[in-house]
């Protein structure tokens, strides 16, 4: 056996605790796989006196210098989250010649280029498998196993919190606030859960995935983002009656015009494989020109699933250290590609409206849509609300721009009392 490889953790919360547990419980196997023991020497935290969920022989510290200046520590594992000071700590570690593993999509999505360059300059590894899809292998498969392909599409459910929430709202009719509190208690949500429910966590993840899949840098600003805060129980129920489920999707597509990247809720037909992905599970579809369709499925958040990905990255780096290689696969954004505006994207739409209950209303609404070349596939009268009528419309495939123009006309019509919701339908054909 070689000399032990010493590492440090930055963060001892949900993921940090999981990493300590996995390193401890699987220590013998890991040692055999690596050919050297992995020893956790130090853990950086904010509150040194806080009670911890698991015992460790590692020294608890509160200053980053005691880690980056420690010559024995070869791998720094950042699991504290947030942009600041995480990014600076990662940079300090890379510049000090330490390999870095992180679960932090905020930092990778926003500062990936700078971090890859720092890793390259120091000839060290920079791995981030846990940053997307929690325990699901997806970064490494994209960079390595699918490297032979030209990828045209990557689409998935990449936020465990919102998928857990939508599943509970669908199956148990639980309200938004209660189910969000449950997801937080289970350790799925971000420190600030608005990143989850607002779609920004998924946006960071699809920016990372699209950058790797399409070989061109896609930043958070390039991603169109809508979260699930407007999804009402009625939308879920009406979707179910029509043969759909509501999911928060992250979608990246490339064609001759460029790259189109978006996060939004969507009605998915029950027959779609992603429709069966429930609770905290995530799944990611990838379409490559050689491999065809592939799908990656597993737990997208939580202590041990996330620790599985982080610890596997640690093992990978440790193997590289033993074999004297490093920084083999860093930045894979080799090209610059155009980002297509969201207005040009097309899909059918689900629209819920509250309208006056009188003759001629439906004809007036159909006229407003028709003026923007939006054809209606179906109009369904749902229920009476305070003497008004709630209707659900499903359009044929139209551009995002046409639907927005039609909706702004509609919102100004006196017979339209309220626009309840507008949700894309992610399907090639509308279910009749």
Ligand X SMILES: NC(=O)C1=CN([C@@H]2O[C@H](COP(=O)(O)OP(=O)(O)OC[C@H]3O[C@@H](n4cnc5c(N)ncnc54)[C@H](OP(=O)(O)O)[C@@H]3O)[C@@H](O)[C@H]2O)C=CC1
Residue 188 near ligand X by CB under 6 A: yes
Catalytic residue among 87, 168, 205, 253: 205
Question: From the CB of residue 301, how many other CB atoms can be counted at a distance below 10 Å?
Answer: 29
Binding range to ligand LTNE7NMQ, per CB under 6 A, among 85-93, 112-120, 186-194, 392-400: 186-194
Within 78-145, residue ranges assigned H as helices are 86-95, 105-122, 139-140
Element (H, E) at 74: strand 73-78
Pairing type for strands 349-355 and 398-399 reads: unpaired
Residue 159 near ligand LTNE7NMQ by CB under 6 A: yes
Q: Is there a binding annotation on residue 10?
A: yes
Task: Show the CA angle centred on residue 90, arms to residues 77 and 107, nearest 5°.
Answer: 95
> Is there a catalytic annotation at residue 50?
no
The answer to whether the peptide bond before residue 94 is cis (omega within 30 degrees of 0) is no
Residue 310 near Na ion by CB under 5 A: no
φ, ψ dihedrals at 165, nearest 5°:
-65, -50
Q: Is there a binding annotation on residue 176?
A: no
Residue 309 near Na ion by CB under 5 A: yes
Residue 14 near ligand X by CB under 6 A: yes
Q: Is there a binding annotation on residue 409?
A: no
| Residue in 332, 333, 338 with CA at minimum distance from that of residue 256 | 338
Of residues 286 through 325, those in contact with ligand X by CB under 6 A are 301-302, 306
> And the tokens for 249?
């999707």
> And the tokens for 22?
């996995």
CA separation for the pair 297, 431 (Å, rounded):
26
Query: C-beta of 161: minimal distance to ligand LTNE7NMQ in Å?
Result: 3
Question: From the CB of residue 94, how many other CB atoms can be counted at a distance below 10 Å?
Answer: 25
CA separation for the pair 386, 356 (Å, rounded):
10
Of residues 103 through 162, those in contact with Na ion by CB under 5 A are 129, 133, 136, 138
Compose the 196-225 pattern: x for residues touching ligand LTNE7NMQ by CB under 6 A, - for all others: x----x------------------------
Residue 160 near ligand LTNE7NMQ by CB under 6 A: yes
What residue numbers does the annotated binding site cover?
10-17, 105, 190
Q: Which residues are catalytic?
A: 205
Q: Using CB under 6 A as the criterion, which residues of the chain lie in contact with ligand LTNE7NMQ when the complex forms?
A: 134, 159-161, 188-190, 196, 201, 300-301
Q: Using CB under 5 A as the criterion, which residues of the chain lie in contact with Na ion when the complex forms?
A: 129, 133, 136, 138, 309
What residue numbers does the annotated binding site for NADPH cover?
105
């Amino acid at each position: 056996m070689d000399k032990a490889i010493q590492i440090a953790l930055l963060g001892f919360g949900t993921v940090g605790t999981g990493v300590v547990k996995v390193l401890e419980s699987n220590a013998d196997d890991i040692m055999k796989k690596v050919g050297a023991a992995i020893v956790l020497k130090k853990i950086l935290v904010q509150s040194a006196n806080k009670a911890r969920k698991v015992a460790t022989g590692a020294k608890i510290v509160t200053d980053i210098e005691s880690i980056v200046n420690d010559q024995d520590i070869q791998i720094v594992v950042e699991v504290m989250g947030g942009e600041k000071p995480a990014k600076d700590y990662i940079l300090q570690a890379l510049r000090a010649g330490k390999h870095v593993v992180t679960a932090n999509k905020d930092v990778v999505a926003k500062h990936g280029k700078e971090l890859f360059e720092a890793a390259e300059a120091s000839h060290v590894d920079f791995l981030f498998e846990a940053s997307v899809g929690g325990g699901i292998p997806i970064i490494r498969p994209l960079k390595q196993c699918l490297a032979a392909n030209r990828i045209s599409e990557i689409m998935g459910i990449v936020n465990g919190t919102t998928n857990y929430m939508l599943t509970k709202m669908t199956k148990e009719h639980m309200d938004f606030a209660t189910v969000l509190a449950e997801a937080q208690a289970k350790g799925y949500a971000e420190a600030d859960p608005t990143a989850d429910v607002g779609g920004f966590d998924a946006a960071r993840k699809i920016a990372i995935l699209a950058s790797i899949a399409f070989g061109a840098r896609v930043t958070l600003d390039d991603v169109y983002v809508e979260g699930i805060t407007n999804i009402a129980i009625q939308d879920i129920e009406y979707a179910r009656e029509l043969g759909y489920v509501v999911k928060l999707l992250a979608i990246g597509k490339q064609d001759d015009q460029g790259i189109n990247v978006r996060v939004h809720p969507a009605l998915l037909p029950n027959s779609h494989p992603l429709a069966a992905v429930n609770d905290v599970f995530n799944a990611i579809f990838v379409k490559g020109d050689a491999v065809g369709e592939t799908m990656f499925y597993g737990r997208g958040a939580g202590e041990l699933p996330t620790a599985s990905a982080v610890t596997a990255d640690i093992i990978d780096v440790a193997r590289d250290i033993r074999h004297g290689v490093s920084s083999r696969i860093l930045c894979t954004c080799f090209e610059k590609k155009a980002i297509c505006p969201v207005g040009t994207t097309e899909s059918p739409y689900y629209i819920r409206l509250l309208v006056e209950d009188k003759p001629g209303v439906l004809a007036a609404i159909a006229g407003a849509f028709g003026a923007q070349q939006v054809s209606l596939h179906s109009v369904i009268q749902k229920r009476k609300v305070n003497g008004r009528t709630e209707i659900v419309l499903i359009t044929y495939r139209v551009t995002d721009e046409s639907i927005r123009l039609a909706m702004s006309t509609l919102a100004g019509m006196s017979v339209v009392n309220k626009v309840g919701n507008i949700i894309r339908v992610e399907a090639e054909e509308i279910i009749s």
